[in-house]
Amino acid sequence: MVDIKALVDVENGTQSRRIFWERDIYELELERIFARCWLFLTHESQIPNYGDFFVTKMGEDEVVVIRQKDGSIGAFLNQCRHRGMKLCMAEAGNARAFSCAYHGWAYGVDGTLKSVPCEKESYGPDFDKAQWGLHPVAKVESYKGFIFGCMDAAAPSLVDYLGDAAWYMDIWAGVPGGIEFLGPPSRSIIRSNWKSPPENFIGDSYHVGWTHAGVLKAMTGEVMPQLAFASKDAGFQVTTRYGHGHGINWGPGPILMSPNCPDLFEWTERRGVEMEAIVGEKASKLYSRHWDGTLFPNCSYLIGTYVFKAWHPIGPDKVEIMTWAFAEKDMSDDLKHRIKVAAHRVFGPAGILESDDIDNFEYIALPNQGHVTRQGKMNLQMGMGREREEADYPGVIGDFLSEHGQRGLYRSWADCMSSANWAELEAKTASWKQDLLRKKKV
């Protein structure tokens, strides 16, 4: 039995290195995180028409997400119910049916089994096709165009799972006209544990002035000291009930895009005024800033850099990365094209900043081959004790140069891993805010 308290010490901000390597821990993650939590599947702009589909993963389970005839969205395990053959071999496309390459069982886009070769002759009159449709994802919902799925029918609704994070998402995804993804994702595989990338994207401002020093100097002509983010005026981090978090910097959002897209500064300034009428004055001030963020467990984004990522585990030490560039639908085609080029140039598989990060992710994982190394602990104590509430911003707030968001991610990891079901998880997290603010009820 895995002792979760021995792996993640929430009160003291430490984690065992074992969580980045050991197979039994990883298998429990697949069961209690990836088969329980809401996971990002795709964006509605990727499957706008009837029969459009996109193939992705939920943990290590491959699923096909399909636009239905009535406009709704279905998602099913990508495997034939006969002998388990992978059903859809394409990554995306449009179809009216899916037929298995092994024996020819054919399914409609609604997952029903439509035809079986030699059905009457081989199976007889008692064979019931209605019992052998594709295995559906238990819940599929969309928020601001972002489609999520959940394998656990007992899970709360998507909007309840997002919680306070939905307020922040409204600021950048709730723009007039909405968001669209710019073409298919780039795909790459790295030798890393799946938790390292979302941990980085949820608010690791500490590494920016060190890891990316050379690249940022080449891009901007200046060296960014690590202390640049230490000021109280630099920004803030936020964490939420189920581990979603953001690091929001008060600097200009499109700074990394400026060589290709200088007109983004004018766009965000003008749009920020429009957003005030939609989300209010305090929220609209965040619109034009630079954010990093992660929705627990495994999707992340950079606001201002127009990058969205999903991190799919392939074992304890391997991750498939899907990277999309996105834009606001109301932007011109020319600006969208330049955003796509710039976003992938910075954070695509060979991106100039992505390459720095991948080195870190891989060399966090690889040393854990050593038995003695795995007995060690890791430290996420920066900024502990400075958690607070602020009237203008939902969630629990921390300093921008801190590890507040990362601690929130591992707090949620520990809650999920130590809970047998959603009822237990919700009871365990009911007082999350008071606990985090050190205001525990006696």
The residues that are catalytic are: 103, 204, 207, 212, 357
* C-alpha span between 228 and 202 (Å, rounded): 18
Q: What are phi and psi of 225, to 5 degrees?
A: -70, 150
Cβ burial 260-296 (10 Å sphere, 16+ → b, else e): bbebbbebbeebbeebeeebeeebbbbbbbbbbbbbb
Judge contact between 113 and 182, C-beta under 8 A.
no
Mapped onto helix, strand or coil, the DSSP state of residue 216 is helix
| CA nearest to 148, candidates 274, 63, 42 | 42
* C-alpha span between 291 and 250 (Å, rounded): 9
Sorted by sequence, the CB contacts under 8 Å of residue 115 that are 6+ apart come out as 104, 105, 106
User: Which residues does residue 378 pair with via DSSP β-bridges, in sequence order?
Assistant: 15
Judge contact between 182 and 326, C-beta under 8 A.
yes
Residue 370 falls in which region: left (phi positive, over 0), alpha (psi -120 to 50) or beta: beta
- The letter for the amino acid at 151 is M
* C-alpha span between 404 and 387 (Å, rounded): 8
What are the angstrom distances between the C-alpha of 156 and each of 141, 160, 374, 427? 11, 6, 35, 13
Q: Which two tokens stand for residue 117?
A: 């070769």
Preceding peptide of 48 cis, ω within 30°:
no
Judge contact between 41 and 147, C-beta under 8 A.
yes
